[in-house]
Structure 1
């Protein structure tokens, strides 16, 4: 009976707090990870931010199960599970005792709990009006509702949905970590049919969940050899995750920066094939889908390499979806990674944001593939070599030796010069001067002699040597 009391208690609390919370969430009160419970938030908090909720969940970092005390001076309970509607599954201390132990707590507790709850909620409402240090469940609940509605409306096109316990099982409780990013961690896992997968666990719900929606929506529309496959996703209050095909060779950056991986550099023919494969993948996103998908974050870190060293474009969190016939897209702010962002994405004075913005990012990435270094390298001795695109352009224009590593014959030299020429066309400052990705594929597949030499891409108005070497964007 007491178990039912506590279930009623939290169901009522959930509804009361939805109606009482009107404020925007505060970043000081994020969801937090608590052992096997996953990510939880208001009305629960931890000892780091006890002001962020009504009930502190303890033992989140201990080997034993998390526990909670629902009323002061009352018994502690082990928390076995917190479901999406904030219902608790509890074990009375000690952990081995059965649910029959709940009968020792008095069916009069129900009235007491509801009364205490109302008082707590009213006090909490008063504090909310003057203190913005709390995560407010109402806004968060609406965000989850919006994403749930989107996933339902997506129908049969949506990939398979898994629950959080499935994610834990397939990753062996997140035992093998593959990498870490601003979004969270990536773990190796295995499906029931034996296929290896990469499980991307998102650490928090940003804004209204746009990144999560973008990734599921955009990649679910794709089917191409150079686009990573999404096998499924998890969306629960305990955590969100995306399940991808496993790429044993990791990301492209591990193979192109000689400074960090001197023993992993690829042959020039393989680099050329990778650049061509990425171009084909982008061409497909821009023209081959039922809708046009603009990626907006093309960079070596987001290019995965399979066992045959074929490239696959990944990470669609910043993608934009638009009708196939439309090229110009509206954006409220810049998106992408510094060093690869097209100038018009940062400043509209350079032109309209379109699929040509992906072309620019692709060109900057290919330059790094050829140079084996970051395009902007402040570690070199001479100022004229700091900005690689300008330095390499001057060498090509003067028909000078490029001084690139690993060139052993005429074929290697042609691969390198072809990739450089195409990439310099891709990074033209004016978007209209850049080729579409379909044209990029044609240039890469054609002969070097057929390529016209591009104009020098300038982002600086000054003509001094140092200024020509360093890019700047002035709106």
Structure 2
């Protein structure tokens, strides 16, 4: 579903990869806004000229070149010429979630609670589809607020699949980090796939929920737990028993606006995701089913792409996790 694109055309569309067109800087490359001659915007990721990034390049192609979902960023094309490796995506106008949660002072960006619920539901829906699609399952393994893009309607799009692992209908595989050929795959035990990979995504989703509630970065959330000499689960347990501390950590823009009950529900959901025993964490389908009940109050639940059982493997008979 992706096309091979010409390097010179992409170079021209980004104005020779002008720094003024740079819209993101990541570990493996720089993202540029590009404009086609017909006026259509694109996002072009130019990978740094290092051979070690071939794995990430191939992973993005394997995952995003095969899958289409409303909560996954669309990959439109790629370019591999000489030492140049570029990936071309649909341009997502509202940038990433990180920049909205942690806007600089003086910036009017602010996420209303209903939008935070919409984002959580969309990310859960996308991950559930990736984890439980019967013929081509994917674990992201690098989920964060930086990897969640927001379109003009604040529909979340999961991006940054360079570190993903894939399980096809023929078995579980991932690209060997020392080999750049996608045909050379390694197979892993099912328990490793479920507990080591799938439940890692669930844990990261729990961190994302905390960020939506607290409005603090992952490193700052960890600082809270370090100061209390406990785990994240211990810290959240403490918050449930000490209301003054709970209100001190919730994003100030959310307090006193009638959302307290829903915020506490989200916190309890995050608590289940962060269980130190991976096997006791819920599946993403269970999480989606639980969170989407909150979305019904805001008319933002959409089951059209996740609950078609002909495509989704049954993860659990339970719809509740709290």
- Shorter-chain TM-score bucket reads 0.7 to 0.9
Identify if the C-alpha distance between structure 1 residues 258 and 451 changes in structure 2 by more than 3 Å, giving closer, same or farther. Answer: farther
Alpha-carbon distance between aligned partners in 2 of 1:170 and 1:202, rounded to the nearest angstrom: 17
Q: Deviations over 1:9-44 (max 9, x none)?
A: xxxxxxxxxxxxxxxxxxxxxxxxxxxxxxxxxxxx
Specify the alignment match of 2:298 in structure 1. Answer: none
Classify the secondary structure of the residue corresponding to 2:60. helix
Match of residue 416, structure 1, among 257, 260, 263: 263
| 1:357 positional shift | 1.4
Specify the alignment match of 1:187 in structure 2. Answer: 32
Specify the alignment match of 2:64 in structure 1. Answer: 219
Identify if the C-alpha distance between structure 1 residues 331 and 428 changes in structure 2 by more than 3 Å, giving closer, same or farther. Answer: farther
Alpha-carbon distance between aligned partners in 1 of 2:232 and 2:138, rounded to the nearest angstrom: 29
Structure number with greater CO (CA < 8 Å, separation at least 6) is: 2
1:354 aligns with 2:197: yes
Alpha-carbon distance between aligned partners in 2 of 1:440 and 1:395, rounded to the nearest angstrom: 21
Alpha-carbon distance between aligned partners in 2 of 1:386 and 1:256, rounded to the nearest angstrom: 26
Q: Deviations over 1:284-337 (max 9, x none)?
A: 1112363001111100111111111111000110011113596x777989xxxx
Classify the secondary structure of the residue corresponding to 1:235. strand
Specify the alignment match of 1:86 in structure 2. Answer: none
Alpha-carbon distance between aligned partners in 2 of 1:290 and 1:265, rounded to the nearest angstrom: 39
Q: Deviations over 1:254-303 (max 9, x none)?
A: 11136767642311111111111111111111123630011111001111
The unaligned stretches of length 5 or more in structure 2 are: 178-190, 296-318
Length, aligned pairs only: 279
Q: Do the aligned partners of 1:258 and 1:372 also contact (CA within 8 Å) in 2? A: no
TM-score between the two structures when normalised by the length of structure 1: 0.53
Q: Do the aligned partners of 2:47 and 2:53 also contact (CA within 8 Å) in 1? A: no
Identify if the C-alpha distance between structure 1 residues 331 and 229 changes in structure 2 by more than 3 Å, giving closer, same or farther. Answer: closer
Q: Do the aligned partners of 2:290 and 2:321 also contact (CA within 8 Å) in 1? A: no
Identify if the C-alpha distance between structure 1 residues 447 and 301 changes in structure 2 by more than 3 Å, giving closer, same or farther. Answer: closer
1:167 aligns with 2:10: yes
Specify the alignment match of 1:264 in structure 2. Answer: 109
Classify the secondary structure of the residue corresponding to 1:367. helix
- 1:442-453 matches, cutoff 5 A: 442-446=289-293
> Greater CA radius of gyration, 1 or 2?
1
Identify if the C-alpha distance between structure 1 residues 260 and 299 changes in structure 2 by more than 3 Å, giving closer, same or farther. Answer: farther
The unaligned stretches of length 5 or more in structure 1 are: 1-156, 334-347, 454-475
Alpha-carbon distance between aligned partners in 1 of 2:80 and 2:206, rounded to the nearest angstrom: 35
Alpha-carbon distance between aligned partners in 2 of 1:174 and 1:332, rounded to the nearest angstrom: 31
Q: Do the aligned partners of 2:286 and 2:320 also contact (CA within 8 Å) in 1? A: no
1:240 aligns with 2:85: yes
Q: Do the aligned partners of 2:287 and 2:321 also contact (CA within 8 Å) in 1? A: no
Specify the alignment match of 1:438 in structure 2. Answer: 285
Alpha-carbon distance between aligned partners in 2 of 1:357 and 1:181, rounded to the nearest angstrom: 21
| 1:410 positional shift | 6.6
Alpha-carbon distance between aligned partners in 2 of 1:260 and 1:299, rounded to the nearest angstrom: 22
Cα RMSD (Å): 3.2
TM-score between the two structures when normalised by the length of structure 2: 0.76
| 1:376 positional shift | 3.4
Alpha-carbon distance between aligned partners in 1 of 2:98 and 2:230, rounded to the nearest angstrom: 20
Alpha-carbon distance between aligned partners in 2 of 1:356 and 1:160, rounded to the nearest angstrom: 33
Identify if the C-alpha distance between structure 1 residues 424 and 330 changes in structure 2 by more than 3 Å, giving closer, same or farther. Answer: farther
Q: Which moved more, 1:407-416 or 1:220-229?
A: 407-416
Identify if the C-alpha distance between structure 1 residues 256 and 199 changes in structure 2 by more than 3 Å, giving closer, same or farther. Answer: same
Alpha-carbon distance between aligned partners in 1 of 2:170 and 2:265, rounded to the nearest angstrom: 30
Classify the secondary structure of the residue corresponding to 2:137. strand
Identify if the C-alpha distance between structure 1 residues 248 and 452 changes in structure 2 by more than 3 Å, giving closer, same or farther. Answer: closer
Classify the secondary structure of the residue corresponding to 1:209. helix
Specify the alignment match of 1:391 in structure 2. Answer: 235
Match of residue 216, structure 2, among 367, 373, 377: 373
| 1:240 positional shift | 1.1
Q: Do the aligned partners of 2:165 and 2:174 also contact (CA within 8 Å) in 1? A: no
Specify the alignment match of 2:126 in structure 1. Answer: 281
